[in-house]
Amino acid sequence: MLIDTLVLGLERADIRDANVEIEPPKLNMGTGEISPFIDVDGVRARKAYANLDNLYFTSTAKRTPTGIIQVNKLQFSIPKLLGFDGEYISNLSADDVRDALAIARDALRDNGIYTDTFDARLWRVDVACDVSTAYPFSGYGVLFDAMHYRNFSDANLGSTYRTGGKGAQWCVYDKRAECVARGLDVSNLPEYLMRFEYRMLKRYKIKDTGFDDVTSLIDGYDNLPEIVSNAWDKVLFDAGGEIYTYGGSWVRTLQDASEVGSTRWLDKAIKQLGFYLLKDAGVTPDNLKRVILGLGGSDTSARNYSDALRDAGLDGEGGSLLAELKDKVRTQLM
């Protein structure tokens, strides 16, 4: 497990003779009104930013009910700062995170930006694990398609599967292909390397895990693997939500779920069963559609789920593929 991208909200940033670019405040020619600005070394600025080597710093003016404040943000990749870009990393420790924070602090200081990266809030945290797989990345697409991951085509990566929303995202992609696209040496990488990234994109999502700032992240670093493992369980490896017993048959599982009263009973039940289990049980798309309709599901839901089962084409091999990924990801995380 490793923390990849960090976005920090810096408590303060003193900019003096700095290697930064300035965006001046906007002026309304009609009213003469000037947009909010901050003082950057004696210069009025709507925004000051520095795109340094593996670091991106911004300082912007923000209007609040109590006045104009300076908002300082820093984004970087821990592996890149540590010189591990393009390497197969099984684990980064809390000490590695400390080292990266110190490197970032010193690099900013060398460019005239004086701040303390250890005294910062967490605005985004991406936690990743890289697993060497038995087959090429494309061979696992049927799993993510069946579980309603969105498939984003990319000229460089081929495909990236992603699910989630504004608060958090779960992303899976071909790590080796990404390194090749960026011109990195991949001779020491496994032939098939898949990256799993859990991205906590908003502060409320980060705070839900018990973290708030850099100090809490480092102090609670040992709790992070379980948090990320549970997050993957919810969307890929386990059912998540309510747990239904199989009751001896897949039909009984759907029936029990329909009686719970939740408006999302069908979605939860299908996730519990898993398309690969339905396929292994000999369920056909038409059969699934009839049962869903018979239990009160809508025509649209019945059609969508039956089509997904048909398209997935999962058999016993599909179940073994998912079991492989589950075992390898959990091994990396725990």
pLDDT in the model for residue 236 = 82
Asked if pLDDT for residue 19 goes beyond 90, the answer is yes
Asked if pLDDT for residue 310 goes beyond 70, the answer is no
> Alpha helices, DSSP H only, in the chain?
78-81, 94-110, 141-146, 175-181, 203-208, 214-219, 224-232, 250-258, 265-273, 275-280, 285-294, 299-312, 316-333
In angstroms, rounded to a whole number, what is the distance separating the alpha carbons of residues 225 and 231? 10
- What is the domain partition of the chain in residue ranges? 9-86+99-117, 119-238, 250-333
Q: Alpha-carbon dihedral of residues 289, 290, 295, 300, nearest 10 degrees?
A: 40
In angstroms, rounded to a whole number, what is the distance separating the alpha carbons of residues 247 and 272? 13
Long-range contacts of 66-73 (CB under 8 A, 24+ apart): 68/36, 68/37, 68/38, 70/13, 70/38, 71/9, 72/9, 72/10, 72/11, 72/12, 72/13, 72/115, 73/7, 73/8, 73/9, 73/10, 73/123
118-128: pLDDT as tens digits: 999 999 999 99
Sequence-distant (6+) residues with CB within 8 A of 300 are none
pLDDT in the model for residue 68 = 93
DSSP state of 34: B
pLDDT tier, 106 (very low <50, low <70, confident <90, very high otherwise): very high
pLDDT in the model for residue 276 = 56
20-45: pLDDT as tens digits: 999 999 999 999 899 999 999 999 99
Mean pLDDT over each residue of the chain, to the nearest integer: 85
168-221: pLDDT as tens digits: 999 999 999 999 988 999 999 999 999 999 999 999 999 999 999 999 999 999
The tokens for 280 are 């292994």
In angstroms, rounded to a whole number, what is the distance separating the alpha carbons of residues 120 and 127? 18
pLDDT tier, 282 (very low <50, low <70, confident <90, very high otherwise): confident
pLDDT in the model for residue 302 = 85
Bridge partners, residue 61, by sequence: 70
In angstroms, rounded to a whole number, what is the distance separating the alpha carbons of residues 194 and 280? 26
